Chains A and B, each alone.
Chain A
Amino acid sequence: MEKKLASSSSADKADSMQTAFRLLLWGLAVAFAIALVGSLLFLSDRYRDFPYSAF
């Protein structure tokens, strides 16, 4: 019984790790996508002469 419980807890932990990994990878992918869109937008004519302030 104890062995069964330990193996089930270890399986749960492995599942949690996989969930964490998937969540983080999705987060990273979304951040990459935003960075790419932002960088391309910056290259577009509309934002080329953006109004910087001197200070």
Chain B
Amino acid sequence: MLSLYVPGTSPVHRAPAGLKLAVLAALGVALFLTGRLEWVAAALVFVLAAGLLVARLPARVLTSQVRPLWIWLVALFGFHLLATDPMTGLVAVLRLLTLVIAAAVVTATTRVTALVAAIEWLASPLRVFGVRPARIGLVIAMTLRFIPLVADRAARIREAQAARGADRVRVVLVVPLLVQVLRMATTVGEALDARGAGDVPARRIRGTV
């Protein structure tokens, strides 16, 4: 999600973000409604075809999302071997695998802006309660932007502490990180002002990059 977008012009790339999110949600519901192996396997084939053949995503984009999951998939199958039966375990594993790959296809073919715009659209009924959907979208986009930045700052503090003899991660990491993040937040607030963040009423221009 943070840096998964793979540029392209395929039909999957061009499909509206809202449609892709809706298909993802529908797929999730459908996979949990069926317990038949052939349907789950067909869904996996469909998702792989959409990602690899239609969207022409590199296989590593999908495998990189699945790799951290292997241990959980094995554990899930092992649990079912003990608690239920191998067939149920296989369905559960394929179900989870299909959903993760489908989510990876959506994020790899959809710009963050488009996803945020879809979320803003979903949040638009909240206007009646005084909520500004554009603010929700900005918060999501900024969260995605600043997660790696905060992680980087934390790594630098850990290095600085290690350079001065701290040999393991300590709670003291939290205080300097918090100070740095709060200081940066002040500047980010100024930058938002300088770039006119509060200048227009909440709305999003359709087709914005």
Partners in one complex: no
Chain B: residues with CB nearer than 8 A to chain A? none
